[in-house]
Structure 1
Amino acid sequence: MTNKHDIYIKAAESAKIGIWESNLESNSVYWDSITKCILEVPEDFQPINGDGIKFYSPGENRERIVALIEKAISDGISFNDKFQITTAKNNIKYVECICRTELKNNKVIRLLGTFQDITKEQNLINELELNVKKFSSIFSSANDAIIIIDYSTGIITDCNSRAYELTGYKSSELLGIHNSKLFPIEKRIEIRLFLANNKDKDNYFVNETFIKTNLGAIIPVEVASGKKFIVGNRTFLVCFFRDISERKNVEDNLNMLSLVASETSDAIIIANPEGETVWANNAFLKLTGFSLNEIIGKKPRVFLNGPETDLQTISNINDALHLKKNIKTTILNYNKQKEKFWYESSTTPVFDNLGNCTKFICVGRDVTVAKEKELELRRILDVTNDQNDKLFNFAHIVSHNIRSHASNLSMILDVMESADDTDEKLSYIEMFKEGTDKLSETIEYLNEIITIQKNTNIDKKYICLKDEIEKVKMALSQSIVESCIEITHSIPDNLVVSVIPAYLDSILLNLFTNAIKYKSTKRKATLEIGYEINEHYTIISFKDNGLGINLNKNGHKLFGMYKTFHGNDDARGIGLFITKNQLEAMKGKIEVESEEGVGSTFKIHLNEK
Structure 2
Amino acid sequence: MSNKLKLYLNAAKSAKIGIWELNLKKGSLYWDAVTRCILEVPEDFMPVQGSSIRFYTEGENRNRIKFLLDQAINEGIPFNDKFQITTDNNTIKYVECICQVAFKKGKPRRLLGTFQDITNEQNLINEMQLSVEKFSSIFSSANDAIFIFDISNGHIAECNPRTSELTGYTSNELVGLHNSELFPATYRDEIKNLLKQNTEKDNYLVSESYIQTKNGNIIPVEVASGKRFKVKDNTFLVCFFRDISERKRVETNMNKLSLAVSETTDTIIIADPNGKTAWANKAYLELTGFSLNEIIGYRPGHFSKGPETDKHTNAIMREAIRDKKSIKITILNYKKNKEKYWFDLNITPVFDKQNELINYIGVGRDVTAQKEKELELNKLLEVTNHQNNKLFNFAHIISHNIRSHTSNLAMVLEVMKDTDDVEEKLSYIDLFKEATEKLSETIEYLNEIITIQKSTNIEKTKIRLKDEIEKTKNTLSLIIKENQITISDNIPNDLTLFVVPAYLESILLNLFTNAIRYKCPKKETKLEISYEVNEQHTIINFKDNGLGIDLEKNGHKIFGMYKTFHGNHDARGIGLFITKNQIEAMKGKIEVESKVGIGSTFKIYLNEK
TM-score of the aligned structures, taking structure 1 as reference length: 0.87
Tell me the equivalent position of 2:383: 383
User: 2: distance between equivalents of 1:48 and 1:464?
Assistant: 129
Aligned AA (2:303): F
Aligned AA (1:205): L
- Change in CA separation of 1:253 and 1:595 when aligned onto 2, cut-off 3 Å: closer
User: 1: distance between equivalents of 2:86 and 2:459?
Assistant: 106
User: 2: distance between equivalents of 1:290 and 1:528?
Assistant: 53
- Change in CA separation of 1:260 and 1:553 when aligned onto 2, cut-off 3 Å: closer
For structure 1, the 5+ residue unaligned runs are none
- Helix, strand or coil for the counterpart of 1:308? coil
Measured against aligned partners, the alpha-carbon deviations of 1:23-43 in whole angstroms (never above 9, x if no partner) come to: 555555444433333333433
User: 2: distance between equivalents of 1:58 and 1:409?
Assistant: 140
Task: Please show how residues 16-27 of structure 1 align to structure 2 within 5 Å.
Answer: 16-22=16-22
- Change in CA separation of 1:418 and 1:153 when aligned onto 2, cut-off 3 Å: same
* Post-superposition offset of 1:320: 4.8
2:244 maps to 1:234: no
* Post-superposition offset of 1:337: 1.0
User: 1: distance between equivalents of 2:44 and 2:147?
Assistant: 60
Task: Please show how residues 324-343 of structure 1 align to structure 2 within 5 Å.
Answer: 325-343=325-343
Tell me the equivalent position of 2:206: 206
Between 225-234 and 310-319, the greater mean CA deviation after superposition:
310-319
Task: Please show how residues 276-355 of structure 1 align to structure 2 within 5 Å.
Answer: 276-321=276-321, 325-349=325-349
Between 113-122 and 74-83, the greater mean CA deviation after superposition:
74-83
**Contact kept in structure 1, 2:198 and 2:225, CA below 8 Å:** no
Between 261-270 and 394-403, the greater mean CA deviation after superposition:
394-403
- Helix, strand or coil for the counterpart of 2:189? helix
* Post-superposition offset of 1:331: 2.4
Aligned AA (1:469): I
User: 1: distance between equivalents of 2:104 and 2:460?
Assistant: 137
* Post-superposition offset of 1:142: 1.6
Aligned AA (2:383): V
**Contact kept in structure 2, 1:456 and 1:586, CA below 8 Å:** no
Aligned AA (2:506): S
- Change in CA separation of 1:176 and 1:481 when aligned onto 2, cut-off 3 Å: same
- Change in CA separation of 1:39 and 1:310 when aligned onto 2, cut-off 3 Å: farther
Aligned AA (1:310): D
Between 375-384 and 57-66, the greater mean CA deviation after superposition:
57-66
- Helix, strand or coil for the counterpart of 1:226? strand
TM-score of the aligned structures, taking structure 2 as reference length: 0.87
Tell me the equivalent position of 2:149: 149
* Post-superposition offset of 1:390: 4.1
User: 2: distance between equivalents of 1:216 and 1:520?
Assistant: 108
Tell me the equivalent position of 1:530: 530
Between 461-470 and 252-261, the greater mean CA deviation after superposition:
461-470
User: 1: distance between equivalents of 2:466 and 2:211?
Assistant: 90
Task: Please show how residues 25-424 of structure 1 align to structure 2 within 5 Å.
Answer: 28-102=28-102, 111-321=111-321, 325-349=325-349, 358-396=358-396, 398-402=398-402, 404-405=404-405, 421-424=421-424
- Change in CA separation of 1:423 and 1:178 when aligned onto 2, cut-off 3 Å: same
User: 1: distance between equivalents of 2:30 and 2:555?
Assistant: 124
User: 1: distance between equivalents of 2:414 and 2:441?
Assistant: 23
For structure 2, the 5+ residue unaligned runs are none
* Post-superposition offset of 1:369: 0.9
* Post-superposition offset of 1:81: 2.4
2:5 maps to 1:14: no
- Helix, strand or coil for the counterpart of 1:228? strand
**Contact kept in structure 2, 1:275 and 1:299, CA below 8 Å:** yes
Tell me the equivalent position of 2:575: 575
- Helix, strand or coil for the counterpart of 1:503? helix
* Post-superposition offset of 1:241: 1.6
User: 2: distance between equivalents of 1:566 and 1:284?
Assistant: 63
User: 1: distance between equivalents of 2:166 and 2:118?
Assistant: 45
* Post-superposition offset of 1:240: 1.4
User: 2: distance between equivalents of 1:71 and 1:391?
Assistant: 133
User: 2: distance between equivalents of 1:47 and 1:322?
Assistant: 82
- Change in CA separation of 1:174 and 1:405 when aligned onto 2, cut-off 3 Å: same
* Post-superposition offset of 1:590: 2.3
- Helix, strand or coil for the counterpart of 1:131? helix
Aligned AA (1:287): L
Aligned AA (2:391): L
The share of aligned pairs that are identical, in percent, is 66
- Change in CA separation of 1:338 and 1:431 when aligned onto 2, cut-off 3 Å: same
Measured against aligned partners, the alpha-carbon deviations of 1:244-280 in whole angstroms (never above 9, x if no partner) come to: 2222232223333333333333333344444444443
* Post-superposition offset of 1:339: 0.9
Measured against aligned partners, the alpha-carbon deviations of 1:410-454 in whole angstroms (never above 9, x if no partner) come to: 665676567775434433322332233223323333443344445
- Change in CA separation of 1:568 and 1:194 when aligned onto 2, cut-off 3 Å: same
User: 2: distance between equivalents of 1:519 and 1:547?
Assistant: 6
Task: Please show how residues 506-585 of structure 1 align to structure 2 within 5 Å.
Answer: 506-520=506-520, 524-551=524-551, 554-585=554-585
User: 1: distance between equivalents of 2:503 and 2:352?
Assistant: 67
- Helix, strand or coil for the counterpart of 1:148? strand
Between 142-151 and 495-504, the greater mean CA deviation after superposition:
495-504
What root-mean-square deviation, in Å, do the aligned CA atoms of Structure 1 and Structure 2 show? 3.5
* Post-superposition offset of 1:567: 4.6
**Contact kept in structure 1, 2:197 and 2:203, CA below 8 Å:** no
Aligned residue pair count: 609
User: 2: distance between equivalents of 1:438 and 1:241?
Assistant: 106
- Change in CA separation of 1:106 and 1:290 when aligned onto 2, cut-off 3 Å: same
Tell me the equivalent position of 1:2: 2
* Post-superposition offset of 1:103: 5.2
**Contact kept in structure 1, 2:195 and 2:225, CA below 8 Å:** no
Aligned AA (1:333): N
Between 107-116 and 526-535, the greater mean CA deviation after superposition:
107-116
Aligned AA (2:593): E
Aligned AA (2:604): I
Measured against aligned partners, the alpha-carbon deviations of 1:214-235 in whole angstroms (never above 9, x if no partner) come to: 3333322221122222333433
- Change in CA separation of 1:480 and 1:67 when aligned onto 2, cut-off 3 Å: farther
**Contact kept in structure 1, 2:490 and 2:529, CA below 8 Å:** yes
**Contact kept in structure 1, 2:155 and 2:177, CA below 8 Å:** yes
User: 2: distance between equivalents of 1:352 and 1:594?
Assistant: 61
Aligned AA (1:37): C
